[in-house]
């Protein structure tokens, strides 16, 4: 009979774009072993769950009652080719999907010590389906166990169901010893398929055995890509595949976690009097504080002085800095640049560049007159290969020819990180307008030849221009969006421009080309930077940002400078 005759069939079933599948549910009939429902850790683990599904024989089936019969994905009698290849096809499908369905296992037939069923079954099974759908939406809680994620008792909607708490606990229990014995049976089953059985599933079995015998729970290795990082990578690849190719391996794995934001939002909604989530204790909607501390912040509220700033910085300060960039750099008019990210000084901004783009052995190209911290940062910390070219030409200007020759030594499509610092530390030299045009032309020329270039404009001393011939704006303004293979990065900040050295407040801004939306591209890069900040220093000083946001909003600030 055609599926269209099924009354619950969706009208989207014949949609030409396909129908996204949120969940795949495997099932087995186990009296003692399997909990009511559990969720696999990821797609590969889900294939393992499906490959090991089993049921105990009943009186209606041929064989000994209670004997375990394994039927992977319920396909063993129907698969027309080697089951090892069948399992491999499942694994390969998951590798090709950006958002593979979540995988669950259900067992409606768990019994107590007297052989009585613990779960009523039939229509009540919809309560479990509801939990599964909530998990797919990220709305249901679960406990991580050695076999997968099991519902918390409170996360199942049991309204109107007379189910004793004791029975619920038995339904959701995971017995390590029983499961370890099960793992030995699984090993014997896997051996039936010989050399064509996927190694990944053997690894999953070993992982299960380790989790069952370990007193600790092992999280996913840090070298493996998290789903949130994969989403950001997809966005970057769609908007500019060259930018994605420039990311370091660490940069590709970076993401900003959602958990802290979700917890904070929930606390704001539910905490009526006291809120002590994420390290900030509040009372009546305001941060708790000591008057002996606050008396030294005459014009700041407790919120402005004592709370955490967002990982990427205060939005008002970021917007103001961007507006100032557009004023100070006329060549940026009509171009799309990112909203500057607040960093803990220029050095921290440069380290974020390293996190995103620098792998061990990458070439970082510098003039031979450079700030010694570059070597410590890029050479020692990131183990890049630093290459030097002569800063000055024979006439005493910036040596554009030497830059060309240095770039020419890296033929093909290798990635190169170029760091240019004007006014230069230690010489104080500022590039002229003509030299700037030559530099941009040279970089575009090499980009046209297939070179991927990250050009870092270290503008720590921006504004110290004392000659009409020098370029009166940042080189970043000329490079932003000039070529799809060039990512321009501006590193600057109030530290020196506003004479607040000890505030340790820097800024990081991107300029690049995107196929469809620079906002999407910059948003993905920003979230990766936020992840790098979150994992290292959490966020930058709130009080410093509050003072700067207030001061820079006053016209007198520019007059005083």
Say how many C-beta atoms besides its own lie within 10 A of residue 59's C-beta. 5
How far apart CA 546 and CA 304 sit, in angstroms, is 6
Asked if pLDDT for residue 260 goes beyond 70, the answer is no
SS3 state of residue 66: coil
Q: What's residue 414's pLDDT? A: 81
Does residue 89 lie within any of the structural domains?
A: yes
How far apart CA 548 and CA 531 sit, in angstroms, is 24
Does residue 240 lie within any of the structural domains?
A: no
* Residues 286 and 393 both lie in one domain: no
The Cβ-side half-sphere exposure at 260, using a 13 Å CA radius, reads: 14
Q: What's residue 273's pLDDT? A: 54
Asked if pLDDT for residue 263 goes beyond 90, the answer is no
Preceding omega of 105 cis (within 30 degrees of 0): no
Does residue 237 lie within any of the structural domains?
A: no
Does residue 249 lie within any of the structural domains?
A: no
Please state the length of the chain. 561
Contacts of 89 (CB under 8 A, 6+ apart): none
Give Rg (Cα) of the chain.
30
Q: Which residue has the tokens 């051996």?
A: 191
Q: What's residue 517's pLDDT? A: 97
Q: Which of 498, 501, 509 is nearest to 456 (CA)?
A: 509
Q: Which of 213, 248, 281 is the last residue of a domain?
A: 213
Q: What's residue 262's pLDDT? A: 46
Q: Which of 156, 188, 213 is the last residue of a domain?
A: 213
Torsions phi, psi of 56, nearest 5? -90, 135
* Residues 262 and 340 both lie in one domain: no
Does residue 157 lie within any of the structural domains?
A: yes
Q: What's residue 275's pLDDT? A: 57
Mean pLDDT of all residues in 243-257: 96
- No. of helices (H) and no. of strands (E), the chain: 22, 17
pLDDT confidence of 80, banded at 50, 70, 90? very high
* Residues 289 and 367 both lie in one domain: no
Does residue 185 lie within any of the structural domains?
A: yes
DSSP class per residue in 115-146: S-BSS--GGGHHHHHHHHHHHHTT-S-EEEET
Task: List the structure tokens of 103.
Answer: 């995988």
How far apart CA 269 and CA 363 sit, in angstroms, is 49
* Residues 355 and 414 both lie in one domain: yes
* Residues 325 and 432 both lie in one domain: yes
How far apart CA 203 and CA 210 sit, in angstroms, is 10
Q: What's residue 283's pLDDT? A: 81
Structurally, how many domains does the chain consist of? Answer: 3
- The domain spanning residue 546 has which CATH number? 3.40.640.10
Mean pLDDT of all residues in 99-116: 95
What domain range is 527 assigned to?
311-560
* Residues 342 and 458 both lie in one domain: yes
* Residues 287 and 326 both lie in one domain: no
Of residues 234 and 284, more confidently modeled: 234
* Residues 103 and 127 both lie in one domain: yes
Asked if pLDDT for residue 272 goes beyond 70, the answer is no
pLDDT confidence of 20, banded at 50, 70, 90? confident
* Interior angle at CA 381, CA 380 and CA 383, nearest 5: 60
Does residue 270 lie within any of the structural domains?
A: yes
Q: Which residue has the tokens 């009166």?
A: 472
Q: What's residue 259's pLDDT? A: 60
Q: Which of 276, 292, 308 is the last residue of a domain?
A: 308
Contact 146, 177 (CB under 8 A): no
How far apart CA 519 and CA 381 sit, in angstroms, is 31
The Cβ-side half-sphere exposure at 305, using a 13 Å CA radius, reads: 14
The Cβ-side half-sphere exposure at 210, using a 13 Å CA radius, reads: 10
Query: How far from 278 is each of 27, 84, 129, 269, 282, CA to CA, in Å?
Result: 39, 47, 33, 15, 11
Q: What's residue 391's pLDDT? A: 98
188-221 burial, b at 16+ Cβ within 10 Å, e below that, comes to ebbeebeeebbeebeebbebbbebbeeeeeeeee
How far apart CA 422 and CA 392 sit, in angstroms, is 13
Asked if pLDDT for residue 34 goes beyond 50, the answer is yes
* Residues 300 and 426 both lie in one domain: no
Mean pLDDT of all residues in 406-417: 80
Q: Which of 478, 376, 366, 340 is nearest to 425 (CA)?
A: 366
* Interior angle at CA 175, CA 173 and CA 181, nearest 5: 145
Query: How far from 259 is each of 149, 262, 301, CA to CA, in Å?
Result: 17, 5, 27
pLDDT digits (tens, 9 = 90+) for 124-149: 999 999 999 999 998 999 999 999 99
* Residues 419 and 546 both lie in one domain: yes
SS3 state of residue 508: strand
How far apart CA 172 and CA 150 sit, in angstroms, is 7
Does residue 140 lie within any of the structural domains?
A: yes
What are the strands, taking DSSP E only, across 385-448? Answer: 385-389, 415-421
Contact 226, 116 (CB under 8 A): no
pLDDT digits (tens, 9 = 90+) for 472-530: 999 999 999 999 999 999 999 998 888 999 999 999 999 999 999 999 999 999 999 99
* Residues 447 and 555 both lie in one domain: yes
* Residues 157 and 299 both lie in one domain: no
Report helix, strand and coil shares of the chain as percent, to nearest 5: 45, 15, 40
How far apart CA 379 and CA 383 sit, in angstroms, is 5
How far apart CA 398 and CA 407 sit, in angstroms, is 15
């Amino acid at each position: 009979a055609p599926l269209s005759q099924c009354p619950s069939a969706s009208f989207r079933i014949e949609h030409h774009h396909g129908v996204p599948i949120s969940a795949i549910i495997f099932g087995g009939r186990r009296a003692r072993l399997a909990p009511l429902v559990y969720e696999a850790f990821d797609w590969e683990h889900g294939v393992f769950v499906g490959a090991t599904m089993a049921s105990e024989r009943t009186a209606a089936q041929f064989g000994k009652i209670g004997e375990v019969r394994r039927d992977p994905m319920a396909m063993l009698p129907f698969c027309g080719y080697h089951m090892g290849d069948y399992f491999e096809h499942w694994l390969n499908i998951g590798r090709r999907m950006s958002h593979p369905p979540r995988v669950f296992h259900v067992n409606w037939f768990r019994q107590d010590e007297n052989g009585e069923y613990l779960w009523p079954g039939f229509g009540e099974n919809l309560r479990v389906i509801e939990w599964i759908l909530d998990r797919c939406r990220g709305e249901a809680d679960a406990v991580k166990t050695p076999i997968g994620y099991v519902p918390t008792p409170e996360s199942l909607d049991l309204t109107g169901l007379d189910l004793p708490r004791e029975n619920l606990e038995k339904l959701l229990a995971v017995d390590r010893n029983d499961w370890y014995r099960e793992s030995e049976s699984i090993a014997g089953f896997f051996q039936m398929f010989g050399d064509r059985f996927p190694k990944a599933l053997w690894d999953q079995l070993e992982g299960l055995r380790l989790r069952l015998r370990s007193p600790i729970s092992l999280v996913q290795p840090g070298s493996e890509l998290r789903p949130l990082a994969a989403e950001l990578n997809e966005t970057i690849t769609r908007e500019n595949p060259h930018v994605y190719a420039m990311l370091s391996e660490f940069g590709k794995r970076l993401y900003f976690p959602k958990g802290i934001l979700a917890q904070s939002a929930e606390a704001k909604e539910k905490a009526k009097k006291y809120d002590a989530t994420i390290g900030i204790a509040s009372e009546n909607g305001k941060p708790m504080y000591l008057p002996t501390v606050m008396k030294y912040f005459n014009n700041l509220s407790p919120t402005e002085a004592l709370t955490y700033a967002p990982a990427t910085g205060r939005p008002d300060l970021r917007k103001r800095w961007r507006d100032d960039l557009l004023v100070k750099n006329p060549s940026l008019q009509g171009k799309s640049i990112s909203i500057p990210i607040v960093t803990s000084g220029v050095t921290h901004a440069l380290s974020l560049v390293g996190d995103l783009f620098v792998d061990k052995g990458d070439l970082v190209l510098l003039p031979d007159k450079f700030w010694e911290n570059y070597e410590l940062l890029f050479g020692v910390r990131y183990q890049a290969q630093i290459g030097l070219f002569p800063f000055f030409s024979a006439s005493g200007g910036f040596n554009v020819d030497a830059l060309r020759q240095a770039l020419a030594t890296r033929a093909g499509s290798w990635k190169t990180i170029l760091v240019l610092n004007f006014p230069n530390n230690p010489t104080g030299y500022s590039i002229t307008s003509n030299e700037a045009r030559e530099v941009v032309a040279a970089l575009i020329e090499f980009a046209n030849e297939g070179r991927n270039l990250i050009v870092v404009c270290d503008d720590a001393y921006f504004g110290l221009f004392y000659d009409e011939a020098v370029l009166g704006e940042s080189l970043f303004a000329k490079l932003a969006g000039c070529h799809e293979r060039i990512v321009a990065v501006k590193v600057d900040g109030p530290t020196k421009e506003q004479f607040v050295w000890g505030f340790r407040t820097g800024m990081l801004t991107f300029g690049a080309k995107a196929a469809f939306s620079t906002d999407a591209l910059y948003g993905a890069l920003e979230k990766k930077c936020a992840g790098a900040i979150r994992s290292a220093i959490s966020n930058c000083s709130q009080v410093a940002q509050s003072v700067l946001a207030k001061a820079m909003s006053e016209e007198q600030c520019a007059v005083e400078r």
